Amino acid sequence: MLALRPNCECCDRDLPPDSDQALICTFECTWCRECGEKRLGMKCPNCQGNLVARPIRPAAMLAKFPASTERKHRPEKCA
């Protein structure tokens, strides 16, 4: 199950579980669309994999399977 991390690892922007601006890689590294497109070229700086839109978990399932609250902020990866 996806962790649905709460923020962009690059700029620390909040990315709530229902955000259509969240991108992830195969390891669930999480980036906002702006950083993914403009800074990262749609490529994860951690694993070099491609970035894709993060799925939105339906509200009923979010209540049963909540999103992660663990924030990861690694601005050095976005230089």
pLDDT tens digits for range 65-76: 999 999 999 999
Q: Which fold has domain 1-57?
A: Herpes Virus-1 (3.30.40)
CA distances from 13 to 52, 64, 72 (A): 17, 25, 11
Instruction: Break the chain into its structural domains and give their ranges.
Output: 1-57
The structure tokens listed for 74 are 């690694």
How distant is the alpha carbon of residue 49 from its chain centre?
13
Model confidence over 34-58: pLDDT tens digits? 999 999 999 999 999 999 999 999 9
CA distances from 54 to 1, 26, 75, 79 (A): 12, 10, 20, 23
C-alpha to C-alpha distance for 16 and 3, rounded to whole angstroms: 12
Instruction: Give the chain's end-to-end CA distance (angstroms, integer).
Output: 30
| Mean pLDDT rounded to a whole number for the chain | 96
